[in-house]
A and B are shown apart, each in its own frame.
Chain A
Amino acid sequence: MRLRRLVGFNLFSAVILGVVGFYVGWWLGHLFESSSIAYFDDTGQNDIALFIAYFTGVLGFLVGLGFANYPVQRLLGKPASLREKETQGNGRYFGLCTDHKVVGIQYLIGIGVFIFIGGLNAMLIRFELLTPTQHGWNANNYLTLVGLHGTMMMGMMTSGIIGPFANYLLPVMIGARRMAFPRIEALTFWLLMAAGTILMTTIAFGGFPTGWTGYAPLNDQANMGMDAYIAFFALVGLSMTLLGLNMIATVITMRAPGMTWGRLPIFVWGTVTTSVLMLLAAPVLISVLLMVMLDRTAQTGFFNDAAGGSPYLYENLFWIFGHPEVYVLALPGMGILLEILPVFSRKPLWGYKLAVSGMCGIALLSFLVWQHHLFVSGINADLRPFYMLSTELISLPTGFIFVAALGTLWAGRIRLTVPMLFSLAWLFNFLVGGLSGVFLSDVPSDVTTHGSFFSMAHFHYTIMGGLLFAFFAGIYFWVPKMTGYQINERWGKVHFWAMFISFNSTFGPLLVIGFLGMPRRAVTYAGYLQGANTWVSVSAFVLGASMLVFIANFVYSMVFARVPAGANPWASKSIEWQLPSPIPVHNFDRIPTFGPDPYPYGTDGTDGARSQHPVIAPARPTQ
């Protein structure tokens, strides 16, 4: 009986069809090579076969999940449903499901697994850097670890907050029953899972030496492991584009009566601005990676200086995507921060319009700063003052977010729960990240800090200290709503303090190490930096161990302890907390109507009570 349930369109059939598809493509590619392209015989490489194999593999995976069922049934003239698995039961988590809440939980677990793998890579990198000379991995494996860590994190974390939390909560927050495009929503998740698996296969093809930036002409020179990077990032780009499109369409078209733009919860604004960045930036990534693919397979020369191309073109196109991408990582964290602070200060969000304009300003300016990654590259040297100005200007809207956060704390009744601790830590970490960014934005200062551990520590402060801390704040805050079970508070605090202290003791010293002259991505370093590096490595291992505390606590709380959270454990006044936990399949019995105030603390006459949200029609579970 159990085996019977595996038959059908689910993860099991998807994996089988994915592997079969991969080998069919691989065979096709070699068929092609032996008859017509003599070039590959010289190099022992067959990039064309690998690209075809990845393509057919992903196709097989998606067919196995059931993405082809609807069009096929329509072609056969049978009645087809656009809804998939919108029911109860655990089977819906292991396949194509168009319930936005299921997709949110799929994202949480799926992305969590890949972030964990990325974190393990970081541990292995720090193991190598315990000593100034090479002692652990050989040069190629070290570079592959660096590339895998960076690429996995940058690729997966783009959807790290939007994926789980916006998918689950955004329709609820705007009073909708579903996303605008539920099938596309599911597709974005499964594309990411296929992409993550593809990136891991780089190990079988020799890894890739370029780091997450994949600069030309190194990407042309690299062996077949590079193809995994290209396929991964192109699929991530596709997923990002679709995710952004879906979010924007949902917010534009699906808002309930009364939910005007000026009443959107701030997390929705964070999602919308992020989605605009995703929609505009990710297609550039896809196109530049297609050009790299052509360089590697069809022997074009877009980025090859000797063939009339230019490596500068790659750097420009990559960072036109790459800098908005950095704010794709930062903005959702700001949204979570400003969503959580009012709840635990018991005050309305301070300066709502300021915060919204801050997010919009960041989104706009992030397209105008990309050449600060190229300050010493020799390109457009005359424009350096402009990019210095635009880069420093972006600290103004970021300052709006800070002042909104500080204003919300003002005269509040602050409760230091675990989500609140993570939010306050976000403020501290992002402050350090922002201040270190000032050194990188100033050209004379950037001459020394560019490409050093300083810039590496800087973006870890903003991405890990910002995004990952916000991610955990979101988990501790919303997972009780998503699953209906509490997360153990005491162990949550152990996790927080271990993570916060070891994070700062890892990346704080790295700022100094960078100032002292250690370049990024180098397997050896000067002897006088050993003491500091050993300290950083040990701190990094403690940081890694703090993640194990989290995983143990999460599994214990969700699987074994199972303490019911109740509908509103934090006494929040936002709409998602007025519904039962977990939220029922169709969200609302009746579509709610919204009043003028998204944060009615101190004004709605429910002071001190865990009452229903007064502006929402009573909602009951459908079952």
Chain B
Amino acid sequence: MNLRGHAGRIAALTVIGTAIVLPLVIFVLGPNMPPGNWTSAGTSQVFDNTVLLVVMTPFTVFILVYIAYAVTVFRAGPGEELRDGPAIRGHLPSQIVWLATTTAAVLFLAIFGSAELLASNGSGGGSGPNPITKPSGAVLPVQVIGQQWEFTYRYPTYGGVETAELVLPVDRQIEFHVTSLDAIHSFWAYELGVKADANPGVDNIAFVKPKKQGTFQIRCAELCGLWHGYMSDTGRVVDSSQFSTWITQQQHAFTSVQRYLPKYATTYSPDPEARAG
């Protein structure tokens, strides 16, 4: 067979393979991509993951088909192991096509990723003390304080109450302020699609809007010393009446310890003076 015939077969196999794989990616794999559709951030990440899979499918299918085809068809037959192949040193049209398609895909991914990042207000990722985009409307600020080796939470709109458990109201826009007392931690609420590093002296903001009630797992995602492997927690998303009952209880319990703790601030430093008062 001439070389043109081989090229045609590889192209055909790539098209057929892509036609088979693409629907599976869009309809079967895509909706099941992590972290799930629990929150606004989760939804935007699932969408991103699906788009990435769709863009990379044709390239993957082409390369795998090509390698498999080459290894089966372009094999040296018995007795001709040492015969040289044709001295082909390049093929300008295919180099141009390759360069054009990969460049288009890369530029698309970068523009798409940036647009998604801005549209989803950081998509649940830590966006530093001054995020470029913020959700419109009211937000519920929640501070997350990482320390070796647990997370505690403060609610500044409820008198800076400090709690050991993270409870969030459903369908409210949450604004996490993540900081640390000591080493670098990373606040990772998997089902919420939130991850933000906790740096000492830094107020790292992440936005999320939970859409479903239930429990979610929290883990530290940055190596923070001896008991890093045990730095996990379980949070809850509840409806707004349950939330207000819970936060009232917490405020009540908090009054007895309030004078030992520093006033709410965007970063948290233990204040020895506060103890004396």
Contact of B113 among A381, A444, A609 (CB under 8 A): A444
Complex contacts, B257 vs chain A, CB 8 Å: none
Chain B residues, CB < 8 A from A610: 82
Q: How far is the CB of A415 from chain B (nearest CB, A)?
A: 5
Question: Which of A23-31, A213-221, A587-595 lines the interface with chain B?
Answer: A213-221
Contacts of B126 in A (CB 8 A): 376-378, 381
Contacts of A392 in B (CB 8 A): 106, 109-110, 113
Name B179's closest neighbour in chain A (CB-CB): A378
Contact B221 A450 (CB under 8 A): yes
Whether, in the assembled complex, A617 has its beta carbon less than 8 Å from a beta carbon of chain B, the answer is no
Bound CA span A213–B183, Å: 14
Which residues of the other chain, B, contact A601 by a CB distance below 8 angstroms?
84-85, 87
Q: B35 within 8 Å of A by Cβ? A: yes
Q: List chain B residues, Cβ under 8 A from A489.
A: none
Are B106 and A415 in contact, CB atoms less than 8 angstroms apart?
A: no
A residues in contact with B225, CB < 8 Å: 143, 209, 218, 221
Question: Which of B6, B41, B223 has the most CB atoms of chain A within a 10 A radius of its CB?
Answer: B223
The proximity string for A residues 66-87 relative to B, scoring 1 for CB distances below 8 Å and 0 otherwise, is: 0000000000000000000000
Contact present for B183 and A218 (CB under 8 Å): yes
**Shortest Cβ distance from residue B151 to the other chain A in the assembled complex, whole angstroms:** 14
Is A402 among interface residues, defined by CB-CB distance under 8 A? yes
Q: B75 at the A/B interface (Cβ < 8 Å)?
A: yes
List of B residues within 8 angstroms of A450 by Cβ: 125, 195, 221
B127–A396 contact, CB under 8 A? Answer: no
Given contacts A377-B197, A392-B109, A517-B219, contact A348 B87 (CB under 8 A): yes
In the complex, whether A580 has a CB less than 8 A from a CB of chain B is: no
Whether a CB of chain A sits under 8 angstroms from the CB of B122 is yes
Taking the nearest CB of chain A, how far is it from the CB of B220, in angstroms?
7
In the complex where A450-B195, A450-B221 touch, is A385 in contact with B116 (Cβ < 8 A)? no
Q: Which of A207-231 contact B (CB under 8 A)?
A: 209-211, 213, 215-218, 221
Flag whether A576 is at the interface (Cβ < 8 A).
no
Q: Does B247 contact A (CB under 8 A)?
A: no
* Residue of chain B at shortest CB distance from A382: B132
Most B CB contacts (10 A, CB to CB) among A402, A411, A424 go to A411
In chain A, residues 354-379, which have Cβ atoms closer than 8 Å to a Cβ of chain B?
354, 374-379
Q: Does any Cβ of A come within 8 Å of B226's Cβ? A: yes
Q: Which of A520-550 contact B (CB under 8 A)?
A: 520-524, 526
Question: How many angstroms between the C-alpha atoms of A215 and B184 in the bound complex?
Answer: 8
Min CB–CB distance B112 → chain A (angstroms): 8
B76-100 contact mask (Cβ, 8 Å, vs A): 1 or 0: 1100111111111111001100110
Against A, the Cβ 8 Å flags (1 = close, 0 = not) of B189-218 are 010011111011111110000000000010
Asked whether B52 lies within 8 Å of A442 as measured between CB atoms, the reply is: yes
B171 on interface, CB distance cutoff 8 Å: no
Q: Are B113 and A415 in contact (CB under 8 A)?
A: no
- A415 engages B76 (CB within 8 Å): yes
A380 to B227, CA, bound (A): 29
* Stretch of B42-50, B152-160, B161-169 that contacts chain A: B42-50
Within the complex, the shortest CB–CB distance from B158 to chain A, in Å, comes to 24
**What CA separation (Å) do A209 and B60 show in the bound complex?**
39
A376 to B219, CA, bound (A): 15
- Alpha-carbon separation in the docked complex, A243 to B130 (Å): 43
Give 1 or 0 for each of A383-397: 1 = CB within 8 Å of chain B CB: 011001100110110
Interface residue ranges of B44-80 to A (CB < 8 Å)? 44-45, 48-49, 52, 56, 60, 63-64, 66-67, 70-71, 74-77, 80
Taking the complex as formed, is A345 at the interface, i.e. its CB lies under 8 A from any CB of chain B?
yes
In the complex, the answer to whether A378 meets B83 with C-beta atoms within 8 Å is no
A399 at the interface (CB under 8 A from B): yes
Considering only residues 133-164 of chain A, those with a C-beta below 8 Å from chain B are: 134, 139-140, 142-143
Of A348, A395, A443, A517, the residue contacting B217 (CB under 8 A) is A517
Given A311-B184, A442-B52, A447-B194, A407 contacting B223 (CB threshold 8 A): no
Contact of A609 with B87 in the complex, beta carbons under 8 Å: no
A140 to B106, CA, bound (A): 42
Contact of A380 among B66, B88, B128 (CB under 8 A): B128
Contact between A444 and B87, CB atoms less than 8 A apart: no
Could you tell me if B60 and A431 are in contact, using CB atoms closer than 8 angstroms?
A: yes
**A window 334-349: CB within 8 A of B:** 345-349
A519 to B87, CA, bound (A): 50
Query: Which residue of chain B lies nearest to A571 when distances are taken between CB atoms in the complex?
Result: B82
Give A393 to B217 CA distance when docked, in angstroms: 35
Residues of A within 8 A of B204 (CB): 377-378
Closest to A417 in B: B81
Query: Cβ of A290 < 8 Å from any Cβ of B?
Result: no
Closest to B34 in A: A515
Asked if A563 CB lies within 8 Å of chain B CBs, one says no
- Complex CA distance for A212 and B154, rounded to whole angstroms: 33
Which chain A positions have C-beta within 8 A of B87? 347-348, 601-603
Closest CB in chain A relative to B20 CB, distance in Å: 18
Q: How many angstroms between the C-alpha atoms of A353 and B226 in the bound complex?
A: 50
| A350, B221: Cβ atoms closer than 8 Å | no
Known: A218-B225, A516-B34. A602 touches B86 (CB 8 A): yes
Q: How far is the CA of A451 from the CA of B71 in the complex (A)?
A: 37
Interface presence of B276 (CB below 8 A):
no
- Give A406 to B94 CA distance when docked, in angstroms: 11
Q: Are A522 and B228 in contact (CB under 8 A)?
A: yes
Contact B223 A215 (CB under 8 A): yes
Decide: A378 and B63 in contact? CB cutoff 8 A: no
Cβ B110 vs Cβ A385 within 8 A: yes
CB distance from A496 to the nearest CB of B (A): 14
Which one of B84, B114, B124, B230 has the greatest number of beta carbons of chain A within 10 Å?
A: B84
Q: Is B242 in contact with chain A by the CB < 8 A criterion?
A: no
The answer to whether A217 touches B74 (Cβ under 8 A) is no
Q: How far is the CA of A571 from the CA of B34 in the complex (A)?
A: 50
Q: How far is the CA of A413 from the CA of B66 in the complex (A)?
A: 15
- A385 with B113: CB separation less than 8 A: yes
Known: A217-B200, A451-B222. A414 touches B45 (CB 8 A): no
CA distance A537 to B205 in the complex (A): 37
Contact yes or no, B67 A447, CB < 8 A: no
**With A411-B74, A424-B67, A526-B217 as contacts: A447 and B82 at CB distance below 8 Å:** no
In the complex, A382→B114 CA distance in Å?
Answer: 11
Shortest distance in angstroms between A119's beta carbon and chain B's nearest beta carbon?
A: 21
How far is B122's CA from A526's CA once the two chains are assembled, in angstroms?
27
Smallest CB gap from B45: residue in A: A444
> In the complex the two chains form, what is the Cα distance from A520 to B129 in whole Å?
26
Q: Is A602 touching B35 in the complex (CB atoms < 8 A)?
A: no
CA distance A312 to B74 in the complex (A): 52
Give the residues from 4 to 26 in chain B that come closer than 8 angstroms, CB to CB, to chain A.
Answer: 6
B residues in contact with A444, CB < 8 Å:
41, 44-45, 48, 113, 116-117, 120, 123-125
State whether B199 touches A396 (Cβ < 8 A).
Answer: no
- Residues of A contacting B228 with CB < 8 Å? 143, 209, 521-523
A348 / chain B contacts, CB cutoff of 8 Å: 87-89
Find out whether the CB atom of A354 lies under 8 angstroms from the CB atom of B90: yes
B125 to A, closest residue via Cβ: A447
Chain B residues with CB below 8 A from A435, complex form: 56, 60
Q: Are A351 and B95 in touch, CB under 8 angstroms?
A: yes
B85 and A413 form a contact (CB under 8 A): yes
B: which residues have CB within 8 A of A? Answer: 3, 6, 33-35, 41, 44-45, 48-49, 52, 56, 60, 63-64, 66-67, 70-71, 74-77, 80-91, 94-95, 98-99, 102-103, 106, 109-110, 113-114, 116-118, 120, 122-132, 178, 182-184, 186, 188, 190, 193-197, 199-205, 217, 219-230, 232, 269
8 CB-based A-B contacts, threshold 8 Å? A143-B225, A216-B184, A217-B183, A346-B76, A347-B87, A350-B89, A445-B45, A450-B195
By Cβ-Cβ distance, the 8 closest A-B pairs, closest first, are A523-B229, A378-B204, A602-B87, A444-B123, A381-B128, A413-B76, A385-B114, A451-B221
Given contacts A377-B204, A448-B190, 8 further A-B contacts (CB under 8 A): A306-B200, A350-B90, A350-B91, A384-B114, A396-B99, A403-B94, A413-B80, A517-B34
